[in-house]
Copies of this chain bind each other. A is one copy, B any other.
Amino acid sequence: MNNGRFARESCKIIRSSEGATTIDINDVFRYLERDLCAVERALASNIKSAAPLIPVVGKHITMSGGKRIRPALLLLCSDACGYRGPRRIVMSVVTEYIHTATLLHDDVVDMGTVRRGKPSANMVFGNSVSILVGDFLFARASQLMIDDGDINVHKIYAKAVVSVTEGEVLQLTKTRDGGITEKQYFDVICRKTASLIAAASETGAALAGADQRIRKALSGYGRCVGMAFQLVDDILDYAGTEKKLGKRPFQDLREGKITLPLLHALQNVSAVERKRAQKVLAEKERGERDIAFLAGLVDRNGGKEYTASRADDFIRRGKRYLLELPASEARDALAVLSDYMVSRTS
């Protein structure tokens, strides 16, 4: 059952003995170990269903070694605001179920074949099952929130899910559209990725009964690190290998998704190159030569470097929000976790 990243290690808290400013990401994960173990157990126990296939599919995707970044953020935000009770575990499960539901649906939408180095659920179980199990997870998340009974927290997540679906639809609308602006791109990734991460962070504050100022600060922090997280994801699509990424590189290009590395490059190329790029992008499918041409534009025009610098900006902005919180080990851990989110290579 406990096949998650953190659950493989033994379940005990080892608080870092070093000073707060010197902790690294391993200390953060050790600090969270017991709570993340509890999250793993709750992820498995809440997926029971009258349809035996549902937990099978649910476990295939929730137990496939995801990073549990959202639960980690929620746990630390809550902790930094002074709450360490059991509702953090429930809301971590809610966040992860919603995230998993969006992944299941995304893989159908994008016709994904590989996720985290394994065949994606739609490849193993079919599109229909992925759609329905995604729906189940959304609904189960609602049930957990209703049982939790805090309408304010429920409101945060309902808004986030609306935002995620809007972001995905906007992204679809802009597929193969070489005219997408940076503003539109940022709007898409803010909705589709950052909004749920912001919801998880804000929920940490809400569980602690923090005031509006702190809630807003942690929502802002989550939104910034969420933006940075997606920017790094978009860089990795141009930079990684299949082995490292757990999926094929240039997947966004294949799907006609125009992300910041290419968007930036297109602003700096010659008119002739831009025209050729727009033409290639507008086509229904792109061959390997087209992909190589577009990837070359990104390489020669600093697309990845520009995107990385924007990710760094967001992390800096995110960390500034943390100054609204009182100093604590958890607050330092949040700073370390945000650095980790832009340093990842898969």
Structural contact, A169 and B105, CB atoms closer than 8 A: no
For A102, what are the chain B residues with a Cβ–Cβ distance below 8 Å?
Answer: 135
Q: Do B165 and A132 touch across chains, with their CB atoms under 8 A apart?
A: yes
Tell me if A158 is interfacial: C-beta within 8 Å of chain B: yes
- The smallest beta-carbon distance between A140 and chain B, in angstroms, is 6
- List residues of chain B with CB within 8 A of the CB of A132: 105, 109, 165, 168-169, 172
User: Does chain B have a CB within 8 A of A155?
Assistant: yes
Q: Is A19 an interface residue (CB 8 A)?
A: no
Query: Which residues of the other chain, B, contact A136 by a CB distance below 8 angstroms?
Result: 162, 165-166, 169
Q: Is the CB of A343 closer than 8 A to any CB of chain B? A: no
Which residues of B have CB within 8 Å of A129? 169, 172
A167→B101 CA distance, assembly (Å): 18
Contact A165 B109 (CB under 8 A): no
> A118 to chain B: closest CB distance in Å?
21
Q: Which residues of B contact A170 (CB under 8 A)?
A: 50-51
The answer to whether A169 touches B138, judged by C-beta atoms less than 8 angstroms apart, is no
A133-B169, A166-B54 given as contacts; is B142 within 8 A of A161 (CB)? yes
CB of A127 closer than 8 Å to a CB of B: yes
Q: Check B138–A135 contact: CB distance below 8 A.
A: yes
A212 at the B interface (CB under 8 A): no
A172 to nearest B CB, angstroms? 6
Q: Say if the beta carbon of A146 comes within 8 Å of chain B.
A: yes
Partner of A105, one of B50, B135, B168: B135
Restricting to A113-148, which residues have a CB under 8 Å from any CB of B? 127-129, 131-136, 138-140, 142-143, 146
Chain B residue with the shortest CB-CB distance to A172: B128
Known: A142-B158, A158-B143, A162-B140. A173 touches B51 (CB 8 A): yes
A313 nearest CB across to chain B (Å): 24
Known contacts A142-B142, A146-B155: does B169 contact A53 (CB below 8 Å)?
Answer: yes
CB of A108 within 8 Å of the partner chain: yes
- CB neighbours of A101 from chain B (8 A): 135
Contacting pair B158 A50 (CB below 8 A) = no
Contact partners of A142 in chain B: CB under 8 A: 142, 154, 158, 161
**Is there contact, CB below 8 Å, between A143 and B169?**
no
**A167 CB, min distance to chain B CBs, angstroms:** 8
How long is the Cα–Cα vector from A220 to B101 in the complex, in angstroms? Answer: 31
Asked whether A215 is an interface residue with its Cβ less than 8 Å from the other chain, the reply is: no
- A10 contacts the other chain (Cβ, under 8 Å)? no
CB distance from A52 to the nearest CB of B (A): 8
B139 touches A165 (CB 8 A): yes
The contact sample of 15 A-B pairs, CB cut-off 8 A, is A50-B166, A51-B166, A51-B169, A51-B173, A53-B173, A109-B131, A129-B172, A132-B168, A132-B169, A134-B135, A135-B138, A135-B161, A135-B164, A138-B161, A139-B162
Extra contacts, 20 of them, besides A50-B170, A142-B154 (Cβ < 8 A), are A51-B169, A53-B172, A53-B173, A54-B165, A102-B135, A108-B108, A108-B128, A128-B172, A129-B169, A132-B165, A135-B138, A135-B161, A135-B165, A136-B162, A136-B165, A138-B138, A139-B162, A143-B159, A146-B154, A151-B151
